[in-house]
Amino acid sequence: MDSVLNTASEQLASQIENHLQTIYQGFETDIAQLVSDLISIMRLGSVEQVPVPYQNHWSQQDVILITYGDSLLRTDERAMTTLHRFLNEQCDGVINGVHVLPFFPYSSDDGFAVSDYYEVRESVGEWQDIQRLSAEYRLMSDLVINHGSGESEWFQHFIKGEGPGHDYYFTTSPDENLTEVVRPRTSPLLREVQTTDGLKYVWCTFSHDQIDFDFRNTGVLKEFVNIVRFYLDQGVNIFRLDAIAFLWKEAGTSCLNLEQTHEVVRLLRTLIEYACPSAMIITETNIPSRENLSYFGNANEAHCVYNFSLPPLLLHALITGQNFYLKQWMMSMPPAQDGTAFFNFIASHDGIGLRPVEGILPDSEVDLMIATMQDFGGHVSWRALDDGGKKPYEINIALFEALQGTVGGKDEWGEARFLCAHTIMLALEGIPGLYLHSLLGTQNDHERVKATGHFRSINRHQWDYSELEQLLTDQTSHHHRVFTAMKHLISIRAQQKAFHPNGTQFTLHLGEQVFGFWRQSIDRTQNIFCLNNISAESATLSLSDLNLIQTQDWRDLLSGQRYEDLLGSIELAPYQSIWLSNR
């Protein structure tokens, strides 16, 4: 046993050293000491075995609910208790994972300017609530690793020039060559801060209240590894690396997706896998598709990457009734290797990102989509360009409202179109992430936008739980209809081996009106043809185009209808979907 322990321990130390050599190449860093420190922080002094590579820690039964900890409010009850109540009482076992968006004390950006990484925000709950939730559901937490709050104790120590965190922040000179830096916002990159050591310029990729950390300082790395260890101890099983693409800064570069950033992800994966082999990393990189895919590495970086191109492309297809661009993108997507998976979503707490369709959707189509969403009550957020100009960065709108019509205006097919979007998403290769407000059919919250002054608030409604309970039982309410239909879809999905996140996927060519793809189980025993009419007109599809095996029995999993004449045709109503399965 001792020889096995030594071998595993030695391999771990060697892997960490290799990561650190790449990250800190050219810096005077005591690598050996840093290796020892990281092993100590993660409590990996005596590892028993090397993690088995290329393991899929997921199945077709996995669906992750995305929500703020305080999206559901009940009188005289902690918000996290109410969320737990909703999952247990209303979701009937169809949800087995939950991503609780930043539940820490914060100063801005609805949680993404963290002021204390080791505390739970009092208005949400306490660590016991997190632990109880993680005992029943797979728990995803944000690791807001790129930046911290300008009101945090760490930043106050920076201003004083002493105390924990005083050297955690990235400073530079405005005379440096920063013209190539890619930004997701229009505010100035640098913020002037008067400190006891004089005037300093801190780096702010996002807002001036979100100060970027300096990972050239090994103390910052050790602090975040300590945070990872602490979260594991609280029951966190999935780490969402927020804004990770911007982590490493270097003058004269884009400061986006630099090699040191990728190596930090590899290092965190190594440490997390040795500490908890079933834990996962998901990278949040709202960037063009090809750059986004790079965070898979060689199946040695993120376990999952957000499928950021899916929301705008699916939205575009459903409001135009044409699937050309969605289909072209699908055909270009590589299958995820074992040990990796796509994280599919079509709505989130943020807006519908537009950078992920750069090079995929022509500007004219993006402009058409923006104009349509503005007609439906949505807003547009912008980002700065190198030449001082600006470009649309994301559309801010509730998905239920976004799909209430087409480029021709509002129509009577809103609910059907909305459910069609989710039927497509739930069938795609990957793990589905379902935003709470999509599950509930929540509409635009214009009052919250007025109250906060932020466009993203339009899709961050807070429900009174008693009111919500009434709506979910009211059969005349669209909230009831959407919620019931969504749970039905998820329940069917969970029973199909062909919907394993790593099952085979092949894009079908069925014309502009019908978006179709074929899924096959890993053991090749189940085939499902996913057929979706993405238009407001009925569609006819010849079964002979699918080349179905004549000796097998084919039925629609959604309606139960059986198809015996495989040379016949299928009639699809507007926005109808069929999951045609051989078992």
Q: What pLDDT does 341 receive?
A: 97
Of 216, 202, 215, which is closest to residue 241 (Cα–Cα)? 215
- Does 349 appear as a known binding residue? yes
Residue 487 and residue 515 share a domain: no
In a domain, 52, yes or no: no
CA distance 316 to 331: 17
Residues 489 and 560 occupy one common structural domain: no
Q: DSSP string covering 440-461, please?
A: TT----HHHHHHH--GGGGG--
- For residue 390, the model assigns a pLDDT of 87
My answer on whether 121 and 137 are in the same domain is: yes
Tens-level pLDDT at each residue, the chain (583 residues): 455 557 899 999 999 999 999 999 999 999 999 999 999 999 999 888 899 999 999 999 999 999 999 999 999 999 999 999 999 999 988 999 999 999 999 999 999 999 999 999 999 999 999 999 999 999 999 999 999 999 999 999 999 999 999 999 999 999 999 999 998 888 999 999 999 999 999 999 999 999 999 999 999 999 999 999 999 999 999 999 999 999 999 999 999 999 999 999 999 999 999 999 999 999 999 889 999 999 999 999 999 999 999 999 999 999 999 999 999 999 999 999 999 999 999 999 999 999 999 999 999 999 999 999 999 999 999 888 877 788 999 999 999 999 999 999 999 999 999 999 999 999 999 999 999 999 999 999 999 999 999 999 999 999 999 999 999 999 999 999 999 999 999 999 999 999 999 999 999 999 999 999 999 999 999 999 999 999 999 999 999 999 898 889 999 999 999 999 888 999 999 999 999 999 8
Same domain, 467 and 513: no
CA distances in angstroms from 554 to 101, 197, 563, listed in the order given:
41, 74, 6
Domain that holds residue 560: 504-581
User: For the chain, how many structural domains are there in total?
Assistant: 2
Rounded-to-integer distance, Cα 374 and Cα 368, Å: 10
The verdict on whether residue 456 carries a ligand-binding annotation is: yes
Q: What are phi and psi of 185, to 5 degrees?
A: -135, 170
* Best CA proximity match to 358, nearest among 316, 322, 393: 393
Query: Is 109 a known ligand-binding residue?
Result: yes
> Is residue 441 located within the same domain as residue 530?
no
Strand, helix or coil for residue 583: coil
- Looking at residue 387, its pLDDT comes to 76
Task: Please give the Cα distance from 65 to 94 (Å, whole number).
Answer: 10
Over the stretch 222-252, which tens digit does the pLDDT of each residue have? Answer: 999 999 999 999 999 999 999 999 999 999 9
Q: Is residue 564 part of a domain?
A: yes
| Residue where one domain finishes, among candidates 497, 516, 548 | 497
Q: Of 475, 497, 519, which one is at a domain's C-terminal end?
A: 497
Catalytic residues: 242
Residues 418 and 519 in one domain: no
pLDDT value, residue 3: 53
Tokens standing for residue 134:
């993680």
Q: Does residue 80 share a domain with residue 109?
A: yes
Q: How far is CA 532 from CA 245, 294, 539, in A?
A: 34, 30, 10
- The verdict on residue 286 lying in a domain is yes
On whether both 462 and 568 belong to a single domain, the answer is no
264 is a domain residue: yes
Summarize pLDDT for 513-530 with one digit per residue, the tens: 999 999 999 999 999 999
Which pair of tokens denotes residue 206? 């996002």
pLDDT of residue 1: 42
Report the distance separating Cα 193 and Cα 384, nearest Å.
Answer: 22
Alpha helices, H only, 139-243: 153-160, 218-234
Domain termination residue (choose one: 451, 470, 497): 497
CATH number at residue 360: 3.20.20.80
- 297 and 405, same structural domain? yes
- What are 2-26's pLDDT values in tens digits? 555 578 999 999 999 999 999 999 9
Q: What is the pLDDT of residue 269?
A: 97
Q: How many CA atoms lie within 13 A of 507 on its CB side?
A: 17
Residue 147 marked in a binding site: yes
Selection from 438, 428, 432, 426 nearest residue 493 by Cα: 426
Residue 19 lies in a domain: no
Q: What per-residue confidence (pLDDT) applies to 384?
A: 82
- Report residue 147: phi and psi, to 5°: -155, 160
Whether 276 is in a domain gets the answer yes
Q: Is 519 annotated as a binding residue?
A: no
- Structure tokens belonging to residue 436: 């709470």
Give the separation between CA 364 and CA 383, rounded to whole angstroms: 18
Residues 290 and 242 in one domain: yes
Is residue 517 included in any domain, yes or no? yes
488 lies in the same domain as 565? no
CA distances (Å), 253 to each of 59, 180, 200, in order?
40, 6, 21
40 DSSP β-pair partners: none
Is 101 a domain residue? yes
One domain for residues 465 and 526:
no
